[in-house]
Amino acid sequence: MFLYILGLVAVWYVYRWYKESKRVPNKGDKYVYITGCDSGFGNSLAKHLDKLGFCVIAGCYTENGETALKKVSSERLTTISLDVSKSESVKKVAAFIKTLVGEKGLWAVVNNAGVATPSGPIEWLTIDDYKSMLAVNLNGVIDVTLSVLPLIKKARGRVVNVASVFGRISPFGGPYCVSKYGVESFNDSLRLNMAPFGVKVLCIEPGFFKTSVTDTVILKKHFRSLWDRLPQDLKDDYGYTFLETGLEQLDERFKQFRDSDLRKVVHCMEHAIASVHPRYRYSPGWDAKFLWLPMSYMPTWLSDGFFLRYSPKPKASVI
């Protein structure tokens, strides 16, 4: 009986592998628009898709990012200046893409641009801190998608949203998890709405990877500047030890979890764009698969207990 079940599982995996290994034809006719191509996943994906023969439209936040990417890519790849938090910039890029792709439409948009600061305990932050991150991580995703959706419908193409495993579980304060939960929700609603039009909507939920988003020097600098601007009564509630332990833990935990092999994420993004049968969700990274996702299915008392046990305690803590 055990061998029979094992055999069925093996057959299922072989069938799935075979089904998922098929790639879409005519890559040279397919335009893929990626946001946030200056560095990290977006940059690696742009170069990878360019090598595979896709026509990449790489949205870059900085001029340096554009220049560097142009130097290492083919003539098929087009770079364009893009700030996803500014509607005029998003509209301008969409108008450019419309003339570039013509009747073919746009095969895929990859909503990748994102920021991770400021992050800290909720009461250390202001509404403007929230607004600035949501403008990029959530409103930017929605704005960019809406700006090119008619072109994607024309190509019966794909929307690939880069959320995070922190769109499934929220172990720390600040706008990052809020923004990524928002992306997950937008992704799921859009998937249902677009299914009748033959448009596929896919979500990437990476764990911790070594990019600027997880750069501890940047994160610690922002964390400390949040502390510096706190009123004295809040500083008294938390105590200086909270700050010091928080900064130490940030270093330790990120070292423990950060995976430097960005190919794991890029492979999932490429599969979402190029596979005939993409998956609805991808969770690259061992920490995503074996820690954060299982934790997200656990009862709240258990996951809260775990996070509280391993977080620094404010001086005024009663637990």
Partner residues linked to 202 by β-bridges: 160
How far from chain centre, in Å, is Cα 89?
21
Task: Give the CB-nearest residue to ligand NAP.
Answer: 40
- Interface with ligand NAP by CB under 6 A: which range of 71-79, 92-100, 112-120, 227-235? 112-120
Give how many residues touch ligand NAP by CB under 6 A. 28
Q: Which residues does 174 contact at the CB level (< 8 Å), separation at least 6?
A: 118, 119, 120, 121, 122, 125, 129, 133
Catalytic annotation, pick one of 31, 61, 176, 181: 176
Contacting residue, 41, 54, 181, 282, with ligand NAP by CB under 6 A: 41
CB of 138 to ligand NAP, least distance (A): 10
Which residues inside 152-211 make contact with ligand NAP, applying CB under 6 A?
162, 164, 206, 208-209, 211
Exposed / middle / buried, residue 154 (Cβ in 10 Å: 0-12, 13-18, 19+) = middle
Q: By the 8 A CB rule, do 123 and 171 touch?
A: no
284 touches ligand NAP (CB under 6 A)? no
Stretch that binds ligand NAP, among 4-12, 34-42, 147-155, 193-201 (CB under 6 A): 34-42
Query: Rounded distance, CA 40 to CA 60, Å?
Result: 12
Shortest Å, Cβ 303 to ligand NAP: 19
C-beta closer to ligand NAP: residue 27 or 258: 258
Q: 15 catalytic, yes or no?
A: no
Examine residue 296 and tell whether it contacts ligand NAP (CB under 6 A). no
118 near ligand NAP (CB under 6 A): no
The dihedral built from the CA positions of residue 270, 271, 275 and 278, taken in this order, carries a sign that is negative
3-class secondary structure, 11: helix
Question: Exposed (0-12), middle (13-18) or buried (19+): which is 318, by Cβ within 10 Å?
Answer: exposed
Specify the DSSP class assigned to residue 212.
G
Considering the complex, what minimum distance in angstroms separates the CB of residue 118 from ligand NAP?
Answer: 14
Q: Is 278 near ligand NAP (CB under 6 A)?
A: no
**Pick from 313, 300, 111, 309: nearest CA to 203:** 111
Q: Site residues (CB under 6 A) for ligand NAP?
A: 35-36, 38-42, 61-62, 65, 82-85, 112-115, 136, 162, 164, 206, 208-209, 211-214
The residues annotated as belonging to the active site are: 176
